[in-house]
Each structure stands twice: as structure tokens, then as C-alpha cells.
């Protein structure tokens, strides 16, 4: 026989399997004036709940226990499981505190007795099955649309992919490229950041700040250098030859200065312990809690890991990158509004190969049609002239 019931207002289902045994056994049946007196019946209980950090669970084990004679019953004693601390009242209500993340099944036994002069007793077992819940929110993995709480739904995170090879799939990893800058920051636009709200009113695992069903906003992840790799999985988001790891942690440094990752992740959320400020599950802000604080070296309003001019002095003009594969850009320290620039490309013999006109100093100048070799770039305006030698290498 199976009984299905709701546990108060916890919103969880409790399944009971019918089984019982008596401590005294069948030989303890005795005759009374109103018939046979038999021991109470204690039935095994199974609870299902999503894993959480510092879990405190309340339940009732007497809800399906009874005495065939109608005698009152109460808890005789209960054995606390090794995984946590158990408190149980005589009326069957219990409180189980599990201080650390726990997987699998927790078991403990309890005994009941009837309140008669015979004090017959019976025993049963409680099984608490922990359902996988990677981000330790209130929603188990199978029903969670955003299993790392980075604001992107799992289907945009790359289900099953593990970009940084840390053993944690991208949709469970809050730092998918292991650069210290959390995915929540990297997938969003530079000047339109939306912080998580910590609210999930419809209980689908997706923060309401991003869930369109709750009025939130999300979009395709940003790809600053347009190389087809979103910033959250690109180790060099601006394609300037400097890793996001170095540009996101120390301002205006190169990789030789070095940042030594600890290659340790205590809470298994994908963020290296070098940067991790919050233990997963202990605070809803875990997905943004990194000590990496990307700076803006040249103070142009674009943080260094997304700014391929961040290493250039604000006092000089510069053409980059060099060598060039597909296109180059021109950095002008103090561009004038609507200033027309003429870009002339000469081969090594001084022959004009291409002319390009733009009013945007940071526009990309394509060079795919030019052959490999050395060229002289001349940039001119009414009051400005800059020349620089570059190498085109497709």
C-alpha cells in the first residue's frame, strides 16, 4: 500500500511505503475485554528535496503511523544521522539541520510506543533523498532554466560544453573561461549592465531580472571582437593579444606580469578560489562575487578586457593590431565630433593601394583583398596627420 500526502506548506511531496515491524513481535498479542491488543504500526517515510547549502528541513513521521487498537502513540526515541543534527518531538515533528552540501540519501531510524501499560513499540526508517541542485537555489537541476544563476538560460550557456576544461559544464560554471570575470558580467553589454535581483517568483530557477516571463531582459551574449566566440568563453575578448585574465585583474599589465590561478574551487561553482568571495548557496550573489575588478586604464569608458586600445597611451595615435589579418583600427586620443578621416594605404614601393574615408576614428578598415606584405598607413584630417608601417599577414 502507498500513501501520498503533502507536507504542510513546504510544497514538497512525501511518499510512504507500507511496512512495519514490532520490537516485541507477534507473541505480544494479548487478550483484553474489547479484543486483541496489538503493537502500534510504524511505517517507513521517504522525503524528496532539492540540495541546498546549510539545509534545515522540517517533517512529521507520525502522520502515517497508527495503533490498530486506537491507542495513542508517541516517539520513543530517534537516532540522528551522521550527515546532520536531528531534533524530534514526541508528536513526530522533527528538524534536521545539514550544515554542508549533501548528495544522495540520508537515513535514520525512529521508534514509537503506544501509551498503555504495555508500552508496545515499533520502529521505522526515514529516507531523505537529496535531488541534484547545482546552484543550491530552491529549484532542482531538472527544472532549473539557469543552473549557474548567471542570468543566461542554459541553452545559451552551452549545455554540455566545458570551455575551460575544469570539469564543470558551462551551464553550471559561473566563470566559463576561467578568467576571473564572471559570466554574468561578460555576457552583458558594456554600458547596460543589469544586476541580478535575487528574486525568482515563478520558481523556474531564472532570476526575475532576466526572465522575460517576469518582465526581465536577456539577449545573445556579447562578442566584443566579433570572432564568433562570446566574451564569456573568449580568453581574449578584445583580441588585443592580452588575456582577459590579466586585463581583468590588474590594470594595464601584460601576461608576463602573470596571475597564478590556484586551480582550486572549494564550492565547485567554476570560479577559481583566487577570485571567489562567496561560498555557493550561502548567498544569492554568488554568481557575481569575484574579486576581479576590471579597470579602465585609458579612461575611455570601456573596461580594459573589452578595450583593444587600453594599453595605448592617451597621448598618442596608434594603428592596431599589427600584424593585421583581416582589418585594423585607428586610435585617435582626442577625436573631434564628425571629423572626416582619410585613410590611405601604400605598398612598400609607395604605390597607393587603397583609400578609405570615415568619420569614426575607431572604425575597422578591411584589408582582406590586399596581399601579404608591408604597407604604410597614412591617416589625415583637416588638422591631423599620422603615418605608421604595418604588416598584413592573412
Range from 12-26, 41-55, 116-130 carrying the lowest mean pLDDT: 12-26
More confident residue, 42 or 380: 42
Instruction: Write down the pLDDT at residue 28.
Output: 44
Instruction: Write down the pLDDT at residue 358.
Output: 84
* pLDDT over 90 at 359, yes or no: no
43-66 burial by CB neighbour count: b if 16+ within 10 A, else e? bbbebebbbbbebebebbbbbbbb
Instruction: Write down the pLDDT at residue 349.
Output: 78
Give the whole-angstrom CA distance, residue 305 versus residue 179. Answer: 10
Query: CB neighbours of 163 closer than 8 A, spacing ≥ 6?
Result: 170, 173, 176, 177, 233
Query: In 10 A of CB 223, how many CB atoms?
Result: 16
What is the residue-averaged pLDDT of the chain? 83
**Structure confidence by residue, pLDDT tens digits, 155-207:** 999 888 999 999 999 999 999 999 999 999 999 998 889 999 999 999 999 99
Instruction: Write down the pLDDT at residue 361.
Output: 63
Instruction: Write down the pLDDT at residue 13.
Output: 34
pTM for the predicted model, two decimal places: 0.63
Which whole number is the average pLDDT over 8-23? Answer: 36
* Domains of the chain: residue spans and CATH: 2-131 (2.60.40.10), 142-311 (no CATH), 312-392 (2.60.40.3080)
**Structure confidence by residue, pLDDT tens digits, 257-307:** 457 889 999 999 999 999 999 988 888 889 998 988 888 876 667 888 998
Cell 487478550 locates to 31
Most confident of 92-106, 127-141, 246-260, 375-389: 127-141
**Structure confidence by residue, pLDDT tens digits, 213-241:** 999 999 999 999 999 999 999 999 998 88
Nearest to 104 by CA among 131, 71, 141: 131
Beta bridge partners of 185: none
Give the whole-angstrom CA distance, residue 309 versus residue 48. Answer: 54
Nearest to 199 by CA among 177, 219, 218, 214: 214
* pLDDT over 70 at 30, yes or no: no
Range from 308-312, 331-335, 344-348 carrying the lowest mean pLDDT: 308-312
Share of the chain above pLDDT 70, in %: 84
Instruction: Write down the pLDDT at residue 74.
Output: 97
Amino acid at each position: 500500500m502507498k500513501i501520498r500526502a503533502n507536507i504542510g506548506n513546504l510544497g514538497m511531496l512525501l511518499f510512504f511505503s507500507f511496512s512495519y515491524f514490532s520490537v516485541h513481535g507477534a507473541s505480544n498479542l494479548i487478550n483484553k475485554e474489547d479484543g486483541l491488543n496489538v503493537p502500534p504500526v510504524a511505517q517507513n517515510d521517504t522525503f524528496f528535496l532539492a540540495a541546498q547549502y546549510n539545509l534545515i528541513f522540517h517533517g512529521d513521521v507520525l502522520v502515517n503511523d497508527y495503533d490498530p487498537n486506537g491507542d495513542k502513540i508517541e516517539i520513543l526515541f530517534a537516532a540522528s544521522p551522521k550527515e546532520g543534527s536531528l531534533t524530534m518531538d514526541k508528536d513526530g515533528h522533527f528538524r534536521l539541520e545539514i550544515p554542508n552540501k549533501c548528495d544522495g540519501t540520508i537515513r535514520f531510524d525512529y521508534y514509537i510506543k503506544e501509551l498503555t501499560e504495555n508500552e508496545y513499540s515499533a520502529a521505522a526508517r526515514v529516507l531523505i533523498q537529496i535531488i541534484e541542485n547545482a546552484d543550491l537555489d530552491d529549484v532542482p537541476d531538472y527544472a532549473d532554466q539557469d543552473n549557474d544563476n548567471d542570468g543566461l538560460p542554459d541553452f545559451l550557456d552551452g549545455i554540455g560544453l566545458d570551455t575551460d576544461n575544469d570539469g564543470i559544464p558551462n551551464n553550471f560554471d559561473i566563470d566559463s573561461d576561467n578568467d576571473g570575470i564572471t559570466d554574468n558580467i561578460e555576457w552583458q553589454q558594456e554600458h547596460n549592465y543589469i544586476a541580478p535581483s535575487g528574486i525568482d517568483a515563478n520558481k523556474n530557477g531564472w532570476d526575475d531580472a532576466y526572465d522575460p516571463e517576469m518582465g526581465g531582459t536577456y539577449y545573445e551574449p556579447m562578442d566584443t571582437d566579433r570572432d564568433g566566440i562570446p566574451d564569456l568563453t573568449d580568453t581574449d575578448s578584445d583580441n588585443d593579444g592580452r588575456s582577459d585574465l590579466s586585463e581583468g585583474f590588474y590594470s594595464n599589465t601584460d601576461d608576463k606580469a602573470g596571475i597564478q590561478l590556484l586551480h582550486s574551487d572549494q564550492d565547485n561553482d567554476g570560479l577559481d578560489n583566487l577570485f571567489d568571495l562567496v561560498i555557493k548557496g550561502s548567498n544569492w550573489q554568488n554568481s557575481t562575487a569575484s574579486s576581479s575588478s576590471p579597470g579602465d586604464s585609458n579612461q575611455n569608458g570601456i573596461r580594459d578586457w573589452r578595450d583593444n586600445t587600453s594599453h595605448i597611451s592617451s597621448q598618442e595615435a596608434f594603428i592596431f593590431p599589427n600584424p593585421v589579418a583581416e582589418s585594423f583600427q585607428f586610435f585617435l586620443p582626442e577625436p573631434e565630433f564628425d571629423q572626416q578621416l582619410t585613410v590611405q594605404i601604400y605598398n612598400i614601393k609607395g604605390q597607393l593601394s587603397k583609400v578609405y574615408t570615415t568619420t569614426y576614428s575607431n572604425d575597422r578598415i578591411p584589408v582582406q583583398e590586399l596581399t601579404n606584405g608591408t604597407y604604410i598607413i597614412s591617416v589625415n584630417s583637416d588638422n591631423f596627420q599620422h603615418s605608421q608601417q604595418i604588416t598584413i599577414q592573412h
